Amino acid sequence: MIKMYKDVCTSLLLACILLYFGQGTCASAYNYTTTTKCLKEPQEALYGGGIIMNPDFNHNMEGWKAFGQGNIEERISKDGNRFLVAHSRKNASDSFSQKVQVDQGKIYTFSASVQVSEGSEVVAVVFKFPTGKNIRGGDMIAEHGCWSLLKGGIVANFTSLVEIHFESKNTSVEIWVDNVSLQPFTKEEWKSHQDKSIIEQRKSKVRLQVTRANKAPLTGAEVLIKQTRSDFPFGCGMNHNILTSTEYQNWFASRFRYTTFTNEMKWYSTEIKQGQENYTIADGMVKFAKENGISIRGHNVFWDNPKMQPRWVNSTLSPEELGTASAKRINSVVARYKGQLIAWDVMNENLHFRFFEDKLGENASAAFYYTAQQLDPGTMMFMNEYNTMEYSSDEASSPANYKKKLEEILSYPGNPNLTAGIGLQGHFGSGQPNLAYMRSVLDFLGATGYPIWLTEVSVGIGPNQAQYLEEVLREAYSHPAVQGIIMFVGPITAGFNETTLVDKNFNNTPSGDVVDKLIAEWKTGSLELATDDQGYIDVSLFHGDYEVTAEDNFASSSATLSFKVTKDEPQSIVQVQIDT
């Protein structure tokens, strides 16, 4: 786009050259590419083991002792590597342990190379406090014949000794461990890592040159750079109240360009009575979103919780009847909104529940994904789950089980090329979120290569709600594997009673202040700059769409052009020329 200002007496040439950051100094904090790799020899202990004594067992078993009723011993591989083995185990927690001191308020990242003596089994790390409380700090599926990295961690809520040990439910297997690490970070250090990663992952360096038509550099040209749209999807849930509240509409449209309808597309909302489909409310919300440039995630096609079906879809429905009804449902809703959505949560919470699997067979989820992709091939298909990231003790939806279920879906005939996405709901409680565990989960699932979205972020009511909401959002935004965030928060008048962003008068709550602050922080504001003696300006810009205007006050001429800053698509020189 070219605009002319004043009387044009001189020609201007604007060249925008995009240069991209490589991996920086924070790469170790977000090193997720090797998280799921199976290695012949274990990788070295991260951070040199941190505060762990004898992390690589080069000093025999110094600092370590048996935990529970099993036995432990040191072994040496053919290549001379020393590692520790727990064998003759009788209970899941029979392994080995070490006590370390943790300090209140610090974040502790954990890692260890793990293997089992046969087959493959889930191995977890557990932190035992003097109070007797056990915190599961992370888990992974360990295999015989190779070493895999178990990552996790804790946030210390008080200063104390903590005993670190391992567990695996299958007591017939030995647990092999090497190169253990526990590294402490202050919250200031943690945020510093996040800030560095944001610069590396969400911004790019841009070189802009202003010249005259004869290519002579224009010194001291006034340049205005304005971001018109952000590339990172940061949005908010929306419900039916938006159709009747002008205040809600204005509040939402002034902030967000991405949304998920909290209930209005769900089966129990669109077919309350069997055979009587009604999409009036959902259609109205889609219309509002389109008119305001808001992209929509479809939520959801099916919910595996038996209590969350339409009332007429109950336990008395035969498998044949359910099969017919579910086929009608998926064809109806996905075809209706084909090409209008950016994603579908095809299956909601199919790790915690199995209503359709019990009725229709183990491949029920996989078959639904196949059908949805055939009906709407241009849309990303998500598996949406809770507690995978926010609560480390929920084994049903652990990262290892999430990955296993996703792989089962992708192995179904016709699904290997599924446009799949990883949906992590992110409903955090009122206490301190475990940022170390959250990062380890994003590392683990990010290593699959599939895009991760936080799909329903909220934080429980408590004195530190706004602070914890900010911590969660920053952790997600700074992680390179996360490609979008949707919060399930909003105005109290619309029924958002847990994490409320505005009160009944649409004045910000503390959580609302946090969200507005991050929206402003994660975009480039209007920049007024001047070119140097070679006509250049070097600046770091968030990824997105931009408009730049350069003006030569002496010659009373100017030019405006649009350009895009991206991480994945290097941009060639953009030139605009205004002739005399």
Q: Which residues are catalytic?
A: 349, 456
DSSP 169: S
* Residue in the block written with tokens 């090409």: 339
- CA 153, distance to chain mean position in Å, is 18
Residue 16's H or E segment, with its range, is strand 12-19
**Rounded Cα gap, residues 560 and 548, in angstroms:** 6
Residue with tokens 């090329």: 417
Strands 544-552 and 557-565 turn out to be: antiparallel
Sheet holding 160-167, edge to edge: 65-67, 95-102, 160-167, 120-128, 134-143
8 Å CB contact between 387 and 435 = no
CA distances from 333 to 312, 318, 421, 425, 507 (A): 18, 22, 19, 22, 36
From the number of C-beta atoms within 10 Å of its C-beta (0-12, 13-18, 19+), residue 449 rates as exposed
How far is residue 318's CA from residue 325's CA, in Å, rounded to a whole number?
Answer: 11
CB atoms within 10 A of CB 38: 12
Backbone φ, ψ for residue 426 (5° rounding): 80, 40
Strands 175-185 and 82-87: antiparallel
Q: CA 230, CA 203: separation in Å to the nearest integer?
A: 11
- Determine the 3-state secondary structure of 59 from DSSP: coil
All residues at 6 or more sequence positions from 457 whose CB lies less than 8 Å from its CB, including other chains? 425, 426, 427, 428, 469, 472, 473, 476, 485, 486, 487, 488, 489
Radius of gyration of the chain (CA): 27
**What is the H or E stretch that residue 168 is in?**
none
- Residue 377 makes CB contacts below 8 A (sequence gap 6+) with 419
